[in-house]
């Protein structure tokens, strides 16, 4: 089993697809990207940056050909991007498979195993992680479990270790979550594959009620419903027309079995494992916030001001971390006019968002070519604990 191919523009980027299996035997996807330029062939001291997608998305969210994407921006700024398709990727079959995983497995296996492999490849070079959504939440468990020590810095977008829903999503999750879980193992987004006479048709019909001028059923599910959770993944007008037309390529089915774990964490407003003890799960912290003193690198918490999936989770995270752990280098930056995932896939993300990420990486990069880089920008409305 290999992940389906990336949609990367091969004229601009060379993709080294690496056969990669987590230490529990689960097939994942890992690739290293280099620019198609003469300097790309030279020995490099580029710091490496591991990118982690959100649940049901994939590495494709970082290489959109129709925009200046984050991989373009990282390569242009002197970094070496690595993309991990963890087991929640829509390039992999696990979300619709019979073997059910938890975020514990992502935190215990996928992320530490990828970090370990990349470190073997890059030697002593710095390694950063830029993570989105539940990739970031899983990373918070890895970090507070002490499983990925020594990172040069972490950017967590959308949510990190304090998940927080709207009251509506919380209510829907509790009232409808178990009902839905008893009927469906996963919830699709591509209506062309589902068809009109499907058991999912009511979900698509409900999502279309507040569709406005948009006539794309996949967009209805993602923007108006977020798989029936009552959330919204992006600010509609922030998407490039081409991106809007290929949402069914960028997002996949959401497994319903992860609902109880998410609800447990959201009620507590902290990342925590689902499994208790045994099989190595006791290496994860009982409560990520209580173990945040194990974070040993600077953290940038990033969020759109109109995040209607995890709302002000990252601002809450900043407030709690900076209060409880004043020595932790944590910063919060809010991007006006952006939602949950459009800080990465939005048509203007390169102008409005990526600068914050690159500033953070530049400040903390020890590469000789980056000596003397001035302190990064802190946008209006952002705060830093230092
Ligand atoms: Zn739409």
* Cα 269 to ligand 1 centroid, rounded to whole Å: 31
* Cα 202 to ligand 1 centroid, rounded to whole Å: 18
Inform me whether the pLDDT recorded for 90 exceeds 90. yes
pLDDT at 386 (0 to 100): 34
**Whether residue 213 sits in one domain with residue 341:** no
* Cα 232 to ligand 1 centroid, rounded to whole Å: 11
**Quick check: 28 and 90 in contact, CB under 8 A?**
no
* Cα 212 to ligand 1 centroid, rounded to whole Å: 9
* Cα 62 to ligand 1 centroid, rounded to whole Å: 20
Q: Per residue in 96-107, pLDDT tens?
A: 988 899 999 999
Domain boundary among 257, 280, 301: 257
Inform me whether the pLDDT recorded for 36 exceeds 80. no
pLDDT at 40 (0 to 100): 53
* Cα 210 to ligand 1 centroid, rounded to whole Å: 11
pLDDT at 43 (0 to 100): 52
* Cα 301 to ligand 1 centroid, rounded to whole Å: 28
Place 385 in a pLDDT band, splitting at 50, 70 and 90. very low
Domain boundary among 257, 287, 313: 257
Cα Rg, the chain, nearest whole Å? 20
* Cα 220 to ligand 1 centroid, rounded to whole Å: 6
Q: Are strands 48-52 and 80-85 parallel, antiparallel or unpaired?
A: parallel
**Whether residue 142 sits in one domain with residue 223:** no
pLDDT at 117 (0 to 100): 98
* Cα 234 to ligand 1 centroid, rounded to whole Å: 10
Task: Give the structural domain span for 19.
Answer: 13-164+270-384
**Mean pLDDT value across residues 232-260:** 94
pLDDT at 382 (0 to 100): 47
* Cα 144 to ligand 1 centroid, rounded to whole Å: 38
**Mean pLDDT value across residues 143-160:** 98
* Cα 203 to ligand 1 centroid, rounded to whole Å: 16
**Domain contains 262:** no
* Cα 75 to ligand 1 centroid, rounded to whole Å: 31
**Whether residue 134 sits in one domain with residue 56:** yes
**Domain contains 8:** no
**Whether residue 190 sits in one domain with residue 159:** no
Place 31 in a pLDDT band, splitting at 50, 70 and 90. very high
**Whether residue 274 sits in one domain with residue 209:** no
Q: Per residue in 345-377, pLDDT tens?
A: 999 999 999 999 999 999 998 644 444 433 333
**Mean pLDDT value across residues 224-243:** 90
**Domain contains 305:** yes
Give percent of the chain above pLDDT 70: 90
* Cα 58 to ligand 1 centroid, rounded to whole Å: 20
The pair phi, psi for residue 177, each rounded to 5°, is: -60, -50
Place 237 in a pLDDT band, splitting at 50, 70 and 90. very high
**Domain contains 69:** yes
**Mean pLDDT value across residues 72-80:** 94
Average pLDDT, the chain: 88
Indicate the burial class of 179 (C-beta count within 10 angstroms; 0-12, 13-18, 19 or more).
Answer: exposed
**Whether residue 223 sits in one domain with residue 157:** no
**Whether residue 141 sits in one domain with residue 282:** yes
**Whether residue 144 sits in one domain with residue 28:** yes
Q: What is the DSSP string of 344-367?
A: HHSTTHHHHTHHHHHHHHHHH---
**Domain contains 7:** no
**Domain contains 68:** yes
Number of structural domains (the chain) is 2
* Cα 14 to ligand 1 centroid, rounded to whole Å: 31
**Whether residue 105 sits in one domain with residue 80:** yes
CB proximity list for 359: less than 8 A, separation 6 or greater: 376, 377
* Cα 308 to ligand 1 centroid, rounded to whole Å: 16
* Cα 365 to ligand 1 centroid, rounded to whole Å: 39
What residues are paired with 120 via a beta bridge? none
Assign residue 51 the CATH number of its domain: 3.40.50.1820
pLDDT at 366 (0 to 100): 66
**Whether residue 290 sits in one domain with residue 204:** no
**Whether residue 94 sits in one domain with residue 223:** no
How far lies 347's CA from each of 105, 342, 353, in Å?
33, 8, 11
**Domain contains 1:** no
SS3 state of residue 178: helix
**Quick check: 154 and 127 in contact, CB under 8 A?**
no
pLDDT at 97 (0 to 100): 84
pLDDT at 39 (0 to 100): 57
SS3 state of residue 217: helix
* Cα 214 to ligand 1 centroid, rounded to whole Å: 5
**Domain contains 4:** no
Q: Per residue in 118-142, pLDDT tens?
A: 999 999 999 999 999 999 999 999 9
pLDDT at 189 (0 to 100): 83
**Whether residue 343 sits in one domain with residue 239:** no
In the numeric block, which tokens belong to residue 186? 């996963």
DSSP state of 327: T
Domain boundary among 207, 222, 257: 257
Q: Per residue in 310-341, pLDDT tens?
A: 999 999 999 999 999 999 999 999 999 999 99
* Cα 196 to ligand 1 centroid, rounded to whole Å: 19
**Mean pLDDT value across residues 22-40:** 86
Q: Per residue in 272-319, pLDDT tens?
A: 999 987 788 999 999 999 999 999 999 999 999 999 999 999 999 999
* Cα 275 to ligand 1 centroid, rounded to whole Å: 38
In the chain, the largest separation of any two C-alpha atoms, in whole Å, equals 62
Q: Per residue in 183-210, pLDDT tens?
A: 788 888 887 787 767 777 777 777 777 7
């Amino acid at each position: 089993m290999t992940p389906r191919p990336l949609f990367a523009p091969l004229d601009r980027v060379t993709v080294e697809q690496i056969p990669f299996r987590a230490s529990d035997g689960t097939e994942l996807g890992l690739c290293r990207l280099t620019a198609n330029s003469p300097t790309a062939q030279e020995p490099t001291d580029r710091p490496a940056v591991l990118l982690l997608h959100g649940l049901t998305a994939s590495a494709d969210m970082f290489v959109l050909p129709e925009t200046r994407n984050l991989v373009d921006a990282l390569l242009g700024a002197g970094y070496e991007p690595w993309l991990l398709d963890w087991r929640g990727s829509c390039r992999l079959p696990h979300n619709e498979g019979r073997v059910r995983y938890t975020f514990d497995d992502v935190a215990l296996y996928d992320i530490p195993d990828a970090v370990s492999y990349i470190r073997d490849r890059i030697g002593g070079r710095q390694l950063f992680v830029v993570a989105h959504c539940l990739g970031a939440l899983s990373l918070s468990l890895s970090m507070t479990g002490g499983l990925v020590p020594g990172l040069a810095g972490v950017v967590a977008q959308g949510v990190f270790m304090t998940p927080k829903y709207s009251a509506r999503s919380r209510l829907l999750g509790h009232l409808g979550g178990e009902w839905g879980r008893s009927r469906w193992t996963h919830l699709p987004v591509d209506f062309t594959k589902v068809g009109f006479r499907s058991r999912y048709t009511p979900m698509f019909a409900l999502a279309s009620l507040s569709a406005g001028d948009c006539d794309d059923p996949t967009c209805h599910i993602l923007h108006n419903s977020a798989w029936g959770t009552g959330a919204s993944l992006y600010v509609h007008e922030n998407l490039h027309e081409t991106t809007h037309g290929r949402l069914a390529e960028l997002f996949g089915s959401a497994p319903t079995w992860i609902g109880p774990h998410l609800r447990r964490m959201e009620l507590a407003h902290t990342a925590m494992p689902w499994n208790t003890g045994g099989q190595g799960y006791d290496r994860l912290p009982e409560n990520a916030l209580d173990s945040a003193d194990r974070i040993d690198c600077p953290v940038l918490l990033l969020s759109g001001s109109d995040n209607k999936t995890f709302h002000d989770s990252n601002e809450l995270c900043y407030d709690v971390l900076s209060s409880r752990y004043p020595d932790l280098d944590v910063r919060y930056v809010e991007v006006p006019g952006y939602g949950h995932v459009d800080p990465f896939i939005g048509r203007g993300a390169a102008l409005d968002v990526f600068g914050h990420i690159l500033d953070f990486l530049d400040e903390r990069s020890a590469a000789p070519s980056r000596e003397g880089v001035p302190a990064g920008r802190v946008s209006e409305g952002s705060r830093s604990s230092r």
